[in-house]
Amino acid sequence: MKTRDFLVELGTEELPPTSLLTLAKAFGEGIEKGLQGAGLSYSSAQVYASPRRLALLVKDLLVSQPYREFEKRGPATQAPTQAVEGFARSCGVTIDQLTKQQVGKGEYFIYSGIESGKPATELLPDIVQTSLDALPIPKRMRWGSSRTEFVRPVHWLVMLLGEEVVPGTILGLKSDRKTRGHRFHYNHTIELLSPSDYVTKLENPGKVLVDLKVRREKIREQVIAEAARINANVVIDEALLDEVSALNEWPVALTGRFEERFLEVPAEALISSMKANQKYFHLIDNEGTLLPYFITVSNIESLDPSQIISGNEKVIRPRLADAAFFFDQDRLCTLESRTEKLKSIVFQHELGTCLKRHSALKHSLRVLLP
């Protein structure tokens, strides 16, 4: 039977970065489950995802369901002729075209035939819609005057089976063959002639690396190269790498610097601020000591990277200043002097305050560790 490649892409506003990988995986699995349930076989399926899109490319998909043999059981052979004629009429045949078959203890009239399958173009919109409805989205949103709900507003829909557009409407969008490039580098539509054009045309001229795994490894290579450029070692947290990959369509790693005076603050506090708030990778020397540098990943390839670096250095300075302030405040009092404040905190009803439990614990430690 004939096969063609199938592409579906849903274009959106920026998707939640920590959920992108989960959403993309669920989107692909949902469609594959639907294809298998419909009897539409294929050779492979590849999920693609970026901040502004979820996509699936299915290779060698059957263009229609295969023919299927079926049997339909009618009345027993002892049934009145009128009942048998009615059964034959409902099947579009005459009585002499029916067969008889022993089923259990009785003999029945059977109609056997071959049922042609539905074309894939009729089945695919419902399969895609079902997958989107089942995505693990804790809270869906609405936008504009529409009653449509999704994790983020949607803007375009691509559905191609071979060179033909699969007609359908999903989340209020009519299917087309036009995708869109990078929000800043190539904010234009890109017409796809076939699914095989997808990855290459988005990269050039679209300036979008749509393969999440490729984008992830490119970021890894770039941050390692940036660290080597200043004779440092970058610490790559895999969860942070996943999140940064989900924030960028055209990643460019850049190295910034912060004031050395902040190194007086415990490294853990600085690293936490850089990772959690700014999504920076921190740098260490060969002894594992934190260095006054960071690597940020920009979503644009600027003609003047120093402007982006300067902007990030301005942003990180007050965050590290806050960390330094609270660290200095904490050092104004000893830990022992803070125990008096435990008087006002109830540990548990009828068991006293936290101060009482603290004193009991100290006593136990003295007994165990004289």
Please write the tens of the pLDDT for every residue from 102-136.
888 889 888 887 777 899 999 999 999 999 999 99
Q: Alpha-carbon distance 325 to 105, whole Å?
A: 89
Q: Alpha-carbon distance 327 to 99, whole Å?
A: 89
**Residue with tokens 């023919």, as numbered in its chain:** 67
Q: Which of 298, 8, 43 minimizes the C-alpha distance to 179?
A: 8
pLDDT surpasses 80 at 68: no
Residue 130: exposed, middle, or buried by beta-carbon count in 10 A (0-12, 13-18, 19+)? middle
- Give the model confidence (pLDDT) of 333-359 as tens digits: 887 777 777 888 888 877 788 877 777
- pLDDT greater at residue 328 or residue 258: 258
Mean pLDDT of the chain: 93
Q: Which of 120, 8, 5 minimizes the C-alpha distance to 60?
A: 5
Q: Alpha-carbon distance 147 to 145, whole Å?
A: 7
Q: Alpha-carbon distance 199 to 209, whole Å?
A: 8
Q: Which of 272, 275, 279, 269 minimizes the C-alpha distance to 246?
A: 279
pLDDT surpasses 70 at 368: no
Tell me the whole-structure pTM to 2 decimals.
Answer: 0.82
Q: Which of 19, 57, 53 minimizes the C-alpha distance to 35?
A: 57
- Cβ atoms of residues 108 and 77 within 8 Å: yes
DSSP single-letter state for residue 74? E
pLDDT value, residue 113: 79
pLDDT value, residue 146: 86
pLDDT surpasses 60 at 183: yes
pLDDT surpasses 80 at 31: yes
- Cβ atoms of residues 7 and 158 within 8 Å: yes
- Cβ atoms of residues 84 and 109 within 8 Å: yes
